[in-house]
Amino acid sequence: MGLALIVRRRMRALFRRTAVEQELDDMLRLHFDLDAKSLERDGVPPAEARRIVAARNGGIEPVKESVRDARGTRPIEELARDFRYAFRTLAAAPVFTVAVVATLAIGIGATTAVFSVVDGVLLRALQYPNADRIVVIWETDRNSGTTREAGSLADYFDYAASAHAFATIAGFKQSTPTLVTDDATQVNAAAVTHEMFDVLGVRPTYGRAFTAAEDEPGAAGVAVLTDRFWRARFGGNPSIVGRTLRLDDSLYTVVGVLPPGVRQPSEKTDLWIAARFVKAGATRSNHSVGMLGRLRSGVTLDAAQRETDALARRLETDYPRDNTARGVHLEGLDDALVGNVRRSLATLFAGVALVLLIACTNAVNLLFARHAARTHEVAVRLALGASRRRLAQQFAVEGFVVSVAGAALGLLLAALALHVLPSIAPANLPRRDDIVLSLPVFGFALVVCLAIAAAFGLLPVVQHRGAAVLDAMQTRGTAGSHGHQRLRRMLIVGEVAVALVLAAAASLVLRSFDNVLAVDLGFNAGHLFEAHYTLPQSRYPQDYSKFPAGWTQMLSYQRDLETGVRALTGVRSAAIAATDPLDPGFTNGFVIVGREAEAQRGQAELSTRPVSASYFETVGVPLLRGRLFTDRDDASTSLVIVINQAAATKYFGGRDPIGQRISFWGQAREIVGVVGNERFGGLTTDAPPAMYPPIMQAPMSTATLLVRTTADARDVPARIREVMRHVDPLVAPFGARMVNDAVEDAMSPQRFIASLLGGFATIALLLALVGIHGVISYNVVQRQREIGIRVALGATRGSVIRAVLGQALGLAAIGIAIGAVGALAAGRLLSSQLFGVGPGDPIALGAAVASVVAIAFIGGAWPARRATAVSPMVALRGD
Amino acid sequence: MPAASRDVVQGTVDMLVLKALSLAPMHGWGITQRIGQITDGVLQVNPGSLYPALERLEDQGWIAAEWGTTENNRRAKYFHLTAAGRRQLGQETASWRRLSAAIETMLRTT
């Protein structure tokens, strides 16, 4: 009963305020009138009666106040009044308001956007149950220094059978078969063992998982679809379960659909098929089986690593021919997925944190300036009896209004940025779909706001203690705040220092990116088109006993495709290669004939890149020595090979490699030429040593068609597809694109970092400019009188400007000195992400210092001009 | 006797107002008059204590009010005791009696 009554009465007091106040007035007036009347009845004259009543009762207004106090709605009414007052005063100072709101919006917006990316990519846990127990089992090769290689099939069987640290281990092999329906399209398939479901801890949304029997050699093919592929290709129709798909020449029954969020083994995976690996005669020399394990509960990654290390050593002893120098490297699935981007995202996060720091500093600085201007107001109000609590609340409300406006605008900016970011984010950024504006981030922004609001409220009140009130009133708010001024200068110094750190980091990264752009790829990517294809084993048999001459179907497909494409108008040349010029491809062990001892001692494998004779011309790799092979070097003639400059230098030193013989895949091949280095190991990696056998002497079931077109041949891709359909209608091209786009993609991580850090540095410098300008011009206003006196005493324009500018540059100098230390440290942290630039690069650091000096100059020049405009008479009369 | 010392101690105002209203519904001025009459002018409740007290008592639900007119035809707010107010008055009276008896005993001790 009580609460309802009170709520009803409070609501009435708040929302029927006029009526309630009128009633109060009526009630008290009646009381006072009746009091006076009763005195009049005793013979007191009316005027005198009124005076006595007023004196006795203390006047109507104080009584009203005490009733309002008792009413219990006062705090709410005061808050409402404070909000009205805040809006009014903020609207009266538009420059201040816009500056603070914009500063906060930029700071909060940038932080929120970048944090959302970090949250989506790095922090959000994988969507599998106990995902921290899922481990990628890589094989390593001490000879080549490889630490992340797929295992061999035989090794997989051994690890799966013997590694007790794991509850279960799954093997998988990725392939790109053609899905044959009315049309032929390439799909990304993963042949997975049935344990994959248990390793990830997932169950299909529709249908069921593979059974152990379906994973046996010889069992009929079964498949499950990933959620993404099922929706894109089959419109999310559950009736797909039970239907049959044709991949190349084999049939697979769809038994299930995976839940969304399953992106193993790769983001691109369209479907899983039961692996049906054959244990008998499994190879140890071919490394194509990926391994994923689930740790038993309570087993640490280190313990598992120790156990598998021991297993790897046993395999080394048992199978010295294939497993010498082979080890195992365990990596948590999460690390394996995002490990390579973690460092660059951490860099961005650090950068944006610095932007937020500057933004907050700037906001606090602006608030300081405003409070300085209000010193007088606060002092007077305190002297008149306003309570500190009331004043603090009023200022806090003002701070709250500003910071909420800043936060709202900032979240809007963040939402916009997140709209744009994914399109400029590098192609290798995993889980891009997971990037959404996150709630924790919103909370974070709110906390920042409340902190600023609180600071805003407490500062002016804390400042005025006791005697200071009188002081402040006497000085009329023009001076009397020296401590205040010192604090503001320190904030500016800090801002400059942080801005320098960001500017230095940005110029290092920009210079590094410049170097990436200037990299000589070793080939010409202009007007170069590529498309990949895979030939199904059923119609293109691979008989290793008669290699390469026995692989007729594959050889004739290669020849027909190349001839057909070359005949198209708009095509300048065409080639077929095992891998495109940006793909590291695969490596092979090898022996230089006559130097078998070196191979026995263990040597790194050579990148093996079978290509057709026209490859070098098509891609634009120069011949340095000897000859290129021609179309006449085919399966019927003696085996030849071309090596790159890196291989010639590494394995033949000063000697002439031409005429030497390299043996691999059981055959010796004569080196006939040396070609230039292509950077297929990555844009910022020197070309690894490589050998190029003629693809007609080393046919490949998965290969790339490379076509150099004339400048205006936009319809070539469509006609190439036509040719492919003509050669074999069931082989579909995939990954068709211009190589230049691939080069752009390869640069996108660096471009992403460079453009974001560059943007952050620009924001930081602009904010620092606003800060310097604010402090210096405030100072000029404070010293107006002093300047006026100086001018009156004969100071020149030049000396006034020098004094003001000197102050700005002096602050900047201290900031630069402090920031330089931070800039060097930041450079060192960045060094692993830099290419061709040292962490202490003088040009980059010089540019950063120059930009900071420039903003200090601009920030000081403005107020300096104003200072010279001070008329001595006006300044002296100012008080 | 100086006027100030006749001002009613804070806290007892509520009880006095409830008691006055238990006799008849009346407006604010009437309450002060009635308390003054009954106590022969010893206890005086000024408006600065009375009206906040009325506000609090209404919040508690011990009194309720409606608007009426005085004999001179002026708008006035007439307060009356509710059932809860009557119970409250009973409790306060009892505890006041205990307290004053105790003080009386103490003072009488020689």
Q: How far, in Å, CA of A707 to CA of A619, rounded?
A: 8
Identify the pLDDT of residue B5: 39
Identify the pLDDT of residue B6: 45
Q: How far, in Å, CA of A29 to CA of A21, rounded?
A: 12
Give yes or no for residue A86 having a pLDDT over 60.
Answer: yes
Residue type, A741: D
Answer yes or no: are the C-beta atoms of B90 and A104 closer than 8 Å: no
Indicate the pairing of strand A528-534 with strand A702-709: antiparallel
Answer yes or no: are the C-beta atoms of A355 and A410 closer than 8 Å: no
Give yes or no for residue A474 having a pLDDT over 60.
Answer: no
Answer yes or no: are the C-beta atoms of A610 and A694 closer than 8 Å: yes
Nearest-CA distance from B109 to chain A in Å? 39
Q: Which of A344, A371, A438 is nearest to A116 (CA)?
A: A438
Look-up of token digits 């005027």: A47
Longest dimension (CA), chain B: 57
Tell me the chain B residues in contact with residue A19 when contact means C-beta distances shorter than 8 Å. none
User: Backbone dihedral region of A515: left (phi > 0), alpha (psi from -120 to 50 degrees) or beta?
Assistant: alpha
Interface of B with A in 51-90 (CB under 8 A): 51-53, 55-56, 58-61, 67, 70, 74-77
Nearest-CA distance from A45 to chain B in Å? 20
Give yes or no for residue A93 having a pLDDT over 90.
Answer: no
Task: Say which residue, B27 or A322, is predicted with more confidence.
Answer: B27
DSSP structure class, residue A676: P
Q: Where do the DSSP E strands lie in A559-650?
A: 571-577, 586-588, 591-592, 606-608, 623-626, 640-644
Q: Which of A856, A103, A102, A862 is nearest to A489 (CA)?
A: A856
Give yes or no for residue A596 having a pLDDT over 60.
Answer: yes
pLDDT tens digits, residue range A603-648?
777 889 999 999 999 999 999 999 999 988 888 889 999 999 999 9
Task: Return the residue in A30, A35, A60 with the most chain B beta carbons within 10 A, the one to mutate for interface testing.
Answer: A30
Decide if A2 and B55 are in contact by the 8 Å CB cutoff. Answer: no
Tally Cβ neighbours within 10 Å of residue A2: 10
Answer yes or no: are the C-beta atoms of A491 and A484 closer than 8 Å: no
pLDDT tens digits, residue range A50-62?
898 888 888 888 8
Decide if A57 and B48 are in contact by the 8 Å CB cutoff. Answer: yes
- Partner residue opposite A70 with nearest CB, options B29, B46, B56: B56
Residue A581 is encoded by which pair of tokens?
Answer: 């010029």
Residue B83 is encoded by which pair of tokens?
Answer: 């059932």
Least confident of A26-30, A123-127, A157-161, A721-725: A123-127
Look-up of token digits 């000197």: A806
| Cα A218 to Cα A221, A276, A810, distances in angstroms | 9, 7, 81
- How many contiguous H segments (helices) and E segments (strands) does chain A have? 26, 26
Answer yes or no: are the C-beta atoms of A563 and A206 closer than 8 Å: no
Q: How far, in Å, CA of A460 to CA of A464, rounded?
A: 7
Chain centroid to CA A239: 39
Identify the pLDDT of residue A349: 82
Q: How far, in Å, CA of B44 to CA of B26, rounded?
A: 17
Tell me the chain A residues in contact with residue B53 when contact means C-beta distances shorter than 8 Å. 70
- Grouping H, G, I as helix, E, B as strand and the rest as coil, residue A661 is strand
Identify the pLDDT of residue B1: 34
Compute the Cα dihedral for A484, A485, A486, A487 and give only its sign: positive
- Work out the burial of residue A5: count CB atoms within 10 Å of its CB; fewer than 13 is exposed, 13-18 middle, 19 or more buried: middle
What backbone phi and psi angles, to 5 degrees, belong to A497? -60, -45
Percentage of residues in chain A having pLDDT higher than 90: 35
Indicate the pairing of strand A178-180 with strand A586-588: unpaired
Look-up of token digits 């095509």: A571
A750's CB contacts (< 8 A; 6+ apart) are A509, A512, A513, A516, A835
Task: Return the residue in B13, B26, B29 with the most chain A beta carbons within 10 A, the one to mutate for interface testing.
Answer: B29
Q: How far, in Å, CA of A280 to CA of A228, rounded?
A: 36
Helix axes A784-792, A797-830, angle to 10 degrees: 130
Residue A225 is encoded by which pair of tokens?
Answer: 């679809």
Chain centroid to CA A665: 43
pLDDT tens digits, residue range A761-819?
998 998 888 888 887 887 787 777 788 888 888 888 888 888 889 988 998 999 999 99
Look-up of token digits 């022969």: B40
Decide if B46 and A58 are in contact by the 8 Å CB cutoff. Answer: yes
Decide if A58 and B51 are in contact by the 8 Å CB cutoff. Answer: no
Answer yes or no: are the C-beta atoms of A112 and A443 closer than 8 Å: no
Identify the pLDDT of residue A439: 67
Global pTM reads: 0.71
Length of chain B: 110
A225's CB contacts (< 8 A; 6+ apart) are A233, A234, A240, A254, A256, A257, A258, A270, A271
Answer yes or no: are the C-beta atoms of A495 and A768 closer than 8 Å: yes
Give yes or no for residue A364 having a pLDDT over 50.
Answer: yes
Tell me the chain B residues in contact with residue A32 when contact means C-beta distances shorter than 8 Å. 47
pLDDT tens digits, residue range B55-67?
989 988 999 999 9
Q: How far, in Å, CA of A7 to CA of A445, rounded?
A: 33
pLDDT tens digits, residue range A829-839?
888 888 888 88
What is the helix (H) or strand (E) element at residue A189, kind and residue range?
strand A189-192
Answer yes or no: are the C-beta atoms of A469 and A364 closer than 8 Å: no
Question: Which chain A residue has the Cα nearest residue B53?
Answer: A70
Half-sphere exposure of A12 (CA within 13 A, CB side): 13
Whether A31 and chain B come into contact, CB under 8 Å, resolves to yes
Task: Return the residue in B75, B78, B87 with the most chain A beta carbons within 10 A, the one to mutate for interface testing.
Answer: B75
Residue B77 is encoded by which pair of tokens?
Answer: 């707010």
User: Backbone dihedral region of A235: left (phi > 0), alpha (psi from -120 to 50 degrees) or beta?
Assistant: left
Task: Say which residue, A206 or A441, is predicted with more confidence.
Answer: A206
Q: Band of the pLDDT at A387, cuts 50, 70, 90? A: confident
Residue A226 is encoded by which pair of tokens?
Answer: 């990933």
Query: What is the pLDDT averaged over residues A695-719?
Result: 89
Give yes or no for residue A260 having a pLDDT over 90.
Answer: no
Question: Which chain B residue has the Cα nearest residue A6?
Answer: B59
Q: How many CB pairs under 8 A join A and B?
A: 63
- Partner residue opposite A34 with nearest CB, options B29, B52, B59: B29
Whether B48 and chain A come into contact, CB under 8 Å, resolves to yes
Answer yes or no: are the C-beta atoms of A196 and A172 closer than 8 Å: yes
Least confident of A152-166, A240-254, A357-371, A399-413: A357-371
Alpha helices (runs of H) in chain B, residue ranges in sequence order:
3-6, 12-23, 28-38, 47-60, 83-108
Answer yes or no: are the C-beta atoms of A364 and A771 closer than 8 Å: no
Whether A1 and chain B come into contact, CB under 8 Å, resolves to yes
Q: How far, in Å, CA of B74 to CA of B89, rounded?
A: 30
Residue B90 is encoded by which pair of tokens?
Answer: 């009973």
Identify the pLDDT of residue A438: 65
Nearest-CA distance from B89 to chain A in Å? 17
Decide if A27 and B51 are in contact by the 8 Å CB cutoff. Answer: yes
Decide if A72 and B59 are in contact by the 8 Å CB cutoff. Answer: yes
Residue A93 is encoded by which pair of tokens?
Answer: 């100072």
| Cα A819 to Cα A271, A716, A824, A830, B49, distances in angstroms | 53, 55, 9, 16, 65
Q: How far, in Å, CA of A685 to CA of A309, rounded?
A: 30
Residue type, A527: H
Q: Band of the pLDDT at A270, cuts 50, 70, 90? A: very high
Half-sphere exposure of A257 (CA within 13 A, CB side): 20
pLDDT tens digits, residue range A503-557?
999 999 999 989 988 888 899 988 999 999 988 888 888 877 777 777 889 999 9
Give yes or no for residue A441 having a pLDDT over 60.
Answer: yes
pLDDT tens digits, residue range A854-864?
999 998 888 88
Identify the pLDDT of residue A480: 44
Answer yes or no: are the C-beta atoms of A693 and A665 closer than 8 Å: no
Answer yes or no: are the C-beta atoms of A868 and A875 closer than 8 Å: no
Decide if B29 and A31 are in contact by the 8 Å CB cutoff. Answer: yes
DSSP structure class, residue A643: E
Look-up of token digits 């984010």: A425
End-to-end Cα separation, chain A, in angstroms: 62
Q: How far, in Å, CA of A419 to CA of A837, rounded?
A: 32
Q: How far, in Å, CA of A867 to CA of A857, rounded?
A: 15
Residue A802 is encoded by which pair of tokens?
Answer: 């020098």
Q: Which of B34, B58, B32 is nearest to B47 (CA)?
A: B32
Tell me the chain A residues in contact with residue B41 when contact means C-beta distances shorter than 8 Å. none
- Partner residue opposite B48 with nearest CB, options A5, A24, A62: A62
pLDDT, averaged across chain A = 85
Q: Which of A207, A212, A167, A165 is nearest to A192 (CA)?
A: A212
- Work out the burial of residue A485: count CB atoms within 10 Å of its CB; fewer than 13 is exposed, 13-18 middle, 19 or more buried: middle
Alpha helices (runs of H) in A319-438, residue ranges in sequence order:
320-323, 333-383, 388-424
Identify the pLDDT of residue A125: 59
ipTM of the complex: 0.89
What backbone phi and psi angles, to 5 degrees, belong to A677? -85, 130
Decide if B48 and A2 are in contact by the 8 Å CB cutoff. Answer: no
A541-544: long-range pairs with CB below 8 Å, 24+: A542/A701
